Amino acid sequence: MNPKSRRLLLAAGLASLTGLGAGFLTLAPGRRARAEPALNLPIEARGALVARTMVQGLDHPWGLAPLPGAGSGEGFSGRFLVTERSGTMRVAGLDGSLSVPLGGLPPAVVDGQGGLLDVVLHPRFAENGWVYWTFSESDGADTRRAGTSLARGRLDLAAGKLSEVTVLFRQTPKVQGGNHFGGRLVWDRQGMLFMTLGDRGGFRKEAQVLGHHLGKVLRLDEHGQPAPGNPSFAQGGAAPEVWSYGHRNVQGAALHPQTGELWAHEHGPQGGDELNRVRPGRNHGWPAVTYGREYGSGRVIGQAETREDIVPALRTWVPSIAPSGLAFVGGAGGPERYPGATGQPVLGALRGQVLVRLELDSSAPASAPRVLRELRLDAGTRIRDVRAAPDGWLYVLTDEPDSGRLLRVEKL
């Protein structure tokens, strides 16, 4: 056997041992397989997802926001705002009701992964009625180019519309392509808004460039301006909205219920999905550091899987599960519906078609969280969003054309 054949056999053996599969035979010279705690976690299959269908007939639902009861910022009305990627927002009720599309929204570019994306209520929604949402918007001068934008409007349920609608923020630059819009929204405890933005697919290297918004997590005030207290960067020249960089496509984000820190997960290409504790002013690696590989060929992307200056992931998936949606059990302050799971992160998976619960090490300090194992419930369909509602239940959206559902998770 010649030396080249020996190297290929050795690479194949290492790939098999680490679960990387035959698509990863093109390991670069000098790379070694190694045990990585964030990668090699025990996974326990727990059978089928036990969930109740509350609403059906949605067209690729994407985002979910629980609505409070009349005159109360704390209660829950049993209704949700639901976005459909096809460009509409509706009111869905736990009684199975589904409204006609709300009026007043600016048009979204529905192309590939783009369209109407996430939706959240203002922290003082009971007082001001503001609703915020993300959508893919074209460049008026060149309709082939698009980017993720943030809008807000006042909800008028009686009239079935959003009024005083304003686009508060537009990602720059707008580029061609229908992939990696990001778009998740999370309010922090200071009343500032995190907004996730993908690298837009064909522009991966831009995730490492601080002067614009591709491949970044942003932190904005309620008017869409750079939030006070945003980090400064040693490199200089960073856009003032940037909170962190080196992200591929974040489609799940939530605040940790104890620390108030932002946790988020993102899609890798072929392997390399990540769950991260998003650190202000820090580099999360893409595309310089990743366990992901090029589609088809399995070729190495970037410089390595880890690097000292890169924030390490809390959990890495190889092969990919395509995570989407993220919530913490009991994080909404409701009653304990899932004994033994309070405070643990739960996320959906598109490709994996599972609901994933991650068991955290209760003895680890909040500043150094550790995932012990992964529990999977088979959903049999793509899960797009996971939200904790004030009634203590977890609700999920299934990603299906014209038959998407809002489900209540009965058991974890």
Q: Which residues are catalytic?
A: 180
CA distances from 173 to 123, 209, 295 (A): 29, 12, 25
Q: Measuring CA to CA, which residue among 276, 356, 263, 262 is closest to residue 316? A: 276
Q: Phi then psi for 11, rounded to 5 degrees?
A: -60, -40
Q: What is the DSSP letter of 74?
A: S
Task: Show the tokens assigned to 337.
Answer: 């519906």
| Cα dihedral 310/186/378/319 (nearest 10) | -20
d(CA 332, CA 348) in angstroms, rounded, equals 18
Q: Measuring CA to CA, which residue among 407, 358, 359 is closest to residue 379? A: 407
SS3 assignment, position 118 = strand
SS3 assignment, position 382 = coil
User: How many CA atoms does the CB half-sphere of 26 hold within 13 Å?
Assistant: 11
